[in-house]
């Protein structure tokens, strides 16, 4: 099978971790008889330095023309003084919007080998953590109208949080279908005691629930969700929520595993096109030092094979290889434990590749 992949390495450690993911994907091609063609596009700060914009129109066109997109990370202090309309992060919002990437899947899985890395007590996470947050990605307050104006002699900032019924239904169906493939338990997260958008959200989710009688769907307020993720994360299977709530909760959930370097994510369109990326940032303080953890990016590549290319066996092979490397006691600095062997970013990529 031939696939065209647009590679957005980005800034900081982005090029290093993406290189290891591609190394692993090339090994998959060798073993399973596929061919992946890579097109590299600048995004974020490196694009601002070269072209004055966080992503060019030509670069965006290449993303749209591909079968899928692999992203490293963007941004860094160097570009903090850029005008808001050309900050590195603007490119991510633009790609999500232009590619119609409305559904963000953020798995939180605590590998048993890393149980000691979790900040939670073993009696809480001893049985492991395996939950998935489904986040709406192209609506809500991040994309709504915003302005700052002077009113009665002082500045007043306004951000509007719009959601239409079809946007909620679209992400809801993704969540229900995902729950059907997992434990058939779905928690719908909102703030219906305060927000009109959340009341529409809840009404729409209740209507959808009638179409999925096998799924146990419960409502939970976002503040309670934040507490329950710390108190008892194992109670959750699939959570679905709007853009801002999902942004915050998925970052909170990622820390339950002890390192954000382990966490992949997928952003999906209504078709098969998706963008896959680790959830961590560009970490400019360690860029170029070959010490970053590439496993989140490697696992993101596995999600690409699974969700965009329908290559379940190949995705399983990558995930199993990561498990074997951890079993063997190899660790990058962020997940280093007593008695384990510390390795570099490129070493970790080699170790995973060897086990596919």
Active site members: 142, 191, 223, 247, 251
Q: In whole angstroms, what is the distance from residue 45 CA to residue 10 CA?
A: 7
- Residue 128, token pair as written in the block: 């492991």
DSSP SS3 for 117: helix
Q: In whole angstroms, what is the distance from residue 303 CA to residue 322 CA?
A: 13
Strand partners, 188: 219, 240
- Contact between 54 and 20 under an 8 Å Cβ cutoff? The reply is no
Q: In whole angstroms, what is the distance from residue 16 CA to residue 155 CA?
A: 43
CA-angle at 354, arms to 350 and 356, nearest 5°: 120
Instruction: DSSP for 152-201, please give it.
Output: TTEEEEEE-----HHHHHHHHHHHHHHHHTTTSEEEEEE-TTT-HHHHHH
- Contact between 105 and 238 under an 8 Å Cβ cutoff? The reply is no
Q: In whole angstroms, what is the distance from residue 271 CA to residue 189 CA?
A: 25
DSSP SS3 for 74: coil
- Contact between 41 and 64 under an 8 Å Cβ cutoff? The reply is no
DSSP SS3 for 236: coil
Q: In whole angstroms, what is the distance from residue 72 CA to residue 293 CA?
A: 12
Place of tokens 């951000």: 159
């Amino acid at each position: 099978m031939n696939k065209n992949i647009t590679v957005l390495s980005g800034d900081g450690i982005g090029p290093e971790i993406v290189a290891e993911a591609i190394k692993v994907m090339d090994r998959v091609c060798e073993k399973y008889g596929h061919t992946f063609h890579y097109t590299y596009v600048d995004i974020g700060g490196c694009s601002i330095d070269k072209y004055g914009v966080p992503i060019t129109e030509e670069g965006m066109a290449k993303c749209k023309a591909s079968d899928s997109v692999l992203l490293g990370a963007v941004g860094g202090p160097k570009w903090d003084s850029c005008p808001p309309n050309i900050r590195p992060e603007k490119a991510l919002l633009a790609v999500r919007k232009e590619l119609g990437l409305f559904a963000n899947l953020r798995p939180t899985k605590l590998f048993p080998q890393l149980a000691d890395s979790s900040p939670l007590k073993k009696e809480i996470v001893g049985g492991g953590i395996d939950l998935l947050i489904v986040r709406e990605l192209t609506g809500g307050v991040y994309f709504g109208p915003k302005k700052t104006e002077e009113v009665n002699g002082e500045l007043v900032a306004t951000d509007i949080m719009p959601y239409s019924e079809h946007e909620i239904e679209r992400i809801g169906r993704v969540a229900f279908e995902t729950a059907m493939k997992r434990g058939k338990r779905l928690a719908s997260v909102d703030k219906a005691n305060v927000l009109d958008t959340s009341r529409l959200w809840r009404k729409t989710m209740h209507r959808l629930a009638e179409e999925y009688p096998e799924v146990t769907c419960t409502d939970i307020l976002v503040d309670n969700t934040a507490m329950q993720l710390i108190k008892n994360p194992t109670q959750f299977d699939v959570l679905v929520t709007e853009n801002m709530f999902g942004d915050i909760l998925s970052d909170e959930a990622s820390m339950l595993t002890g390192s954000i370097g382990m966490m992949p994510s997928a952003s999906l369109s209504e078709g098969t096109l998706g963008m896959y990326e680790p959830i961590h940032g560009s970490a400019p303080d360690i860029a170029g030092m070959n010490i970053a953890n590439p496993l989140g990016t490697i696992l993101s590549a596995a999600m690409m094979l699974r969700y965009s290319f329908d290559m379940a066996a190949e995705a399983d092979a990558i995930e199993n290889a990561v498990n074997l490397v951890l079993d063997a006691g190899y660790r990058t600095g962020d997940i280093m434990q007593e008695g384990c062997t510390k390795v570099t970013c490129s070493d970790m990529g080699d170790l995973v590749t060897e086990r596919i």
